[in-house]
Amino acid sequence: MSRQYSVKAKPYNFTFDLDKTALIIIDMQRDFLYPGGFGEKLGNDVSTTNAIIPTVKKVLDKAREKALFVVHTREGHRPDLSDVPPSKQRRGGNIGEQGPMGRILVRGEYGHDIVDELQPIEGEVVLDKPGKGAFYQTDFEIILKNKNIETLLVAGVTTHVCVQTTIREANDRGYECLMLEDCCAAFDTKDHDDSIRMINQQGGIFGWTTRSASLFETLN
């Protein structure tokens, strides 16, 4: 049975093979989505990021139904903070400080983990990364190659930072990316909207973008 699909997207239809496609859910962590975490400590309104949880959950459920390979990423650092560049600490000086969900952006802490609604299940990869992009200082590319993945469906936060960085990194490595617009969010909606245009402009210079409804219409 063919698992080839084509979904309506910008700048033009996106064609993919489910057997060579992975759903990448980026940094849907309590530290970025809940009050008291890293995102809010930087002065952001986290209501825009946690609002997408139900939509991401629907996509995750559909991915599981279709037996897609799923990768969840988490940005965070070693408990001794030895992997935090001084430049990053200067701009986000609360990394490692105690917050309401444990030490902020530190691996193993409650706030560092993925929100309850999107918790990984057996067979799904959890990828811990120290930076914005999923490829930087991780074994992400090895995992994708071992699974014969060519196409990435991308969701998560924040659109203009970790999501866009990962898509750009993937593009340079030859992966085709479809960003699910309503499954991504930024603290500032303008940053989100601008990122969508940056990705799909010039004939899809970094990838394609679409809304989850188009994906559901295609896969149902």
Strand order from edge to edge, sheet including 176-185: 125-129, 69-75, 21-26, 151-157, 176-185, 208-210
Which is higher by pLDDT, 7 or 37? 7
Nearest of 70, 84, 67, 93 to residue 22 by alpha carbon: 70
Tens digit of each residue's pLDDT (9 = 90 or more) over 196-213: 999 999 999 999 999 999
CB contact set of 1 (below 8 Å; sequence gap of 6+)? none
- Say how far apart CA 74 and CA 69 lie, in whole Å: 17
Token pair recorded at residue 124:
């799904």
Q: Which residue has the tokens 């139904």?
A: 65
DSSP state letter for 192: H
| SS3 state at 124 | coil
Across residues 45-67, what is the average pLDDT? 96
Burial of 16: CB neighbours in 10 Å, binned 0-12, 13-18, 19+: buried
User: Cβ(82)–Cβ(72) under 8 Å?
Assistant: no
Measured between alpha carbons, how far is 92 from 121 in angstroms, rounded to an integer? 31
How large a percentage of the chain has pLDDT more than 90?
A: 87
pLDDT at 149 over 90: yes
| Strand 151-157 versus strand 125-129 pairing type | unpaired
Angle at which helix 53-65 crosses helix 212-219, to 10 degrees, equals: 20
Examine the pLDDT at 1 and tell me if it is beyond 70. no
pLDDT tens, 32-54? Answer: 999 888 788 778 889 999 999 99
- Alpha-carbon distance 86 to 101, whole Å? 23
- Predicted TM-score (pTM) of the model is 0.96
What does the DSSP 8-state code read for residue 162? I
Confidence of residue 59 (pLDDT cuts 50, 70, 90): very high
Architecture in CATH for domain 23-219: 3-Layer(aba) Sandwich (3.40)
> How do residues 159-187 score in pLDDT, each as one tens digit?
999 999 999 999 999 999 999 999 999 99
Q: How far is residue 21's CA from residue 160's CA, in Å, rounded to a whole number?
A: 23
- Boundaries of every domain in the chain: 23-219
Name the residue among 54, 62, 75, 45 with its Cα closest to residue 161.
75
Catalytically active residues are 27, 129, 162
Classify residue 19 by its DSSP letter. Answer: G
